[in-house]
Every structure is written in C-alpha cells, then in structure tokens.
Structure 1
C-alpha cells in the first residue's frame, strides 16, 4: 500500500473549498468554513496550505461542513453515510490490537507498534509519520480521544490497514471480519482446521466463512454452495474431503 501516493489533507481540503456549494453556488471562504467548524479563518488558511496538522475532531467537523465523508480525506469514500461518526477511535484501535498479531506471538506492545510505524515511515521515505509508545497508550485508553491525523495514518500503517478504517464503519466491519477470519484460521492450523472447527469459540458464522475460505483454497474444484451445504448440516459434523472429492449427502437416503 503506497501511502505517499495519497493527496494530502491540505490538497483535498483546498480543492473542496474551491468547489461551488449546492446551497449558494459559490465556494466556501476561509471565514465561512471557520465559522462553520468553530475555528478562526487564519487556522483554516493554514490547514489549506498544509501549515497545520488537523486533529481527528477537525477532520470530522470539516467533513460535515463540506458534506463529504471524513474518509475522503484519507483516500476513502466521498459520500456521507448514516452511521457517522461511528465508534470511538479507542474502540477501533483496540480491535486492531486484538486482531492483528505477529505470527506465533501475542498482542503487540505499544513499543512494537511504534517501531513498526518507524520502519514503514523509513521505507516510504517520510520519517514524519512517527508516534510515541505513550501516545499509543493514551489513545488505547481513551485518555486522548482526539489524535492528530498523522497519528491516525501512522497507526493504520502499523497494522497494515487503510486509514479510512478509522473513519468508515462499513469498511471497518469488513476489515474486522477479514482479520477475525484470518485469526481463526491461524489459531486452528491449516491441517487441523476441519477437525477442530466445532471446538473453537468464534461464532458459527465466522467459523463457517473461515472453513469455506480454507476448503476453497485447498480444493478449488469444490463448488461453493456444496461446501456451504456440507458445513451447515444439522448434525454439525465436519465434512470429509478425500481424494475422491467432497462428501455427497444422499437426499433420498436421508428421507
């Protein structure tokens, strides 16, 4: 994922401010936008020039005033959705800590996340995207509920997620489902996933999706609906996939 390819917050904001509004037919002035979000016109001017780093609250307020989705400022969707503003930042951040672990290890420490951010920043050639471990702790606990946008992006970088994850509830739900599926599959192990499926704690929906993904990867010739039918049998017995192909249920015999 190339973070350096995104337009900056300042570039997106400046472009939006030069576009005519549907209500008035003319662009927002710095004074008008400042009044709409409760800041001075000089602060808006600095944001548009990239001289000030916006906070999460500023991004949300500007997005509402300009009638765009806050995710639009970090490469996400433009149209606003009914679920805004969504869950608190700390809730989503803690979900990433829970779901994203290094192979064979437990939850990452704030120091490990800060180091991951630093490595990714160095790889991209922009060493400005860094964050301190104590800042991460404050964000996780909710002590700091208004991070700078650069810290939002930095944390997304550390966990390999799109920054829009922190703004877009629909995207966040998709990301968390995918991460949960991967977590389940990792915990089960490829060779034992089918035999151990009924002994795991995740929901049956997550477990079924994990098994479907694994079976399709191991046996691509198996039809999707046939696999789902086998996995959702009332007796919850795991399907048996031998060299002859998927187990076939004899509907007439069952009657």
Structure 2
C-alpha cells in the first residue's frame, strides 16, 4: 500500500447503520482516508472510532450544526487542513430530509427544510468537491485507491430515491427536491465529464435495512428476507463499482432495489 492514501468524503451518516456509514466502512477497507461530515457528533465519533480501530488513523469527523453552504464550506476547509497530502478522489452526498404528508398539511418550514437539505446543501457540497477535483491530475494506481487507472480525476455520487423520478401521494415536497438533486447530478455529469470527472446518481428504490427501518416496521420476516429489503453494504459495493468504472464506460444513473420490490 502506498503511503499516499486518497480521500473519500461522505455527507450524511445518520445513526451509523445506513448507506453513508456502510460506504465509509467499505472505502476505509479499500485504501481511502475517510472524512465524515454529518450532524450528530455522537454517531460521527462512534463510527470514526470503529474505522480507526479497524485500520489505523483512517477516519476523521467534521460535525455540522446544519447543512448550510457556510457550514459545508467550513467542513471542507477543515478536512483539507487535516489531510493536506491526501487528494480528494471520491465524494458521496448522502444527506437528506424526507417529509411524507398530504399536500395541504405540509408547512412552509418543512418545504424550506426539504429544499435546503436536498438541493441547496447538495449544490454547496458539489461545489466544494468539484473545486478540488479540477485541481487534480488523473488518478493513478500508485495512490492506492480503488479507481486505479480508470482515467478520472474523481467521482461524485448523489444518493437519490424513487421520488427523484416519480411523485406520489404524500411526496410532493420530498419528490420536488429529489427531482432537483437528480437534475443537478445530470447537469454536472454532462459539464464535468469533459474534465474526466465522474458524476453519478443513485435511485434507491425500496426500503433500506437500518435500525430506524427495523424499529418502524417491527417485522422479523422482512428483516430476515434478503430479497425484500436493501442492504446498506450492498449499496456501498455498487458505489465502489461506480468509482472503479473506466472512463470509456461510465454510468450516470443506477437504480438499486431488492429482488422482490414492486416497480
């Protein structure tokens, strides 16, 4: 392993049992340093301690009070200062805010929170990432990361949802913002692909197995049936696959669902 470890940054890890945390674990195992950006310092610190115990000083936390552009910009300044010699090669925007209510029951504050988290914060995160990517030369295998000779400067991934491609009852505010993040990712993919920067969007079409989903469903058969729910570790593997893709065959959008999901 080279002494130069590339950097992976993820925004949004929840309580450490979902997609963001699973992806952080996999990238740490794959030779990356891991920068964790999220609200909730308790869960951040717990995940960082787990990663560092397993693989040395590979993870650091950058807690946010909120997902405002100013907070995100400050977090990126801190992580660059923390690891000045590690090139940022992979970034995952996994933060989100969901609201499922009848349209006439949704408040102005809930609409604003959905837009601020799912769109405005995504813009700020993407800007910070792309400013770093555009400074880099093409990644080489000597950096020790997963991309190797895939001829890219970096990979930016957005976690989306079914609501990014179709609205439904109770999803008006959620779908509107998820449509926005999908449009953002497509626009960035077209603009920055010319600079060998890979931008991808993932549609998560189904329920993910997390502590929260298990407590809400309280359904042992659903939890045990691997064909009925999404596994965060499996999602992470798909994200790593995107990073490894050669520039002659890039994916902009993937949709991930369990085998028994209705779609």
Using the size of structure 2 for normalisation, the TM-score is 0.24
Structure with greater strand share of residues:
2
Structure with greater helix share of residues:
1
Using the size of structure 1 for normalisation, the TM-score is 0.24
Q: Computing the radius of gyration over CA atoms, which structure comes out larger, 1 or 2?
A: 1
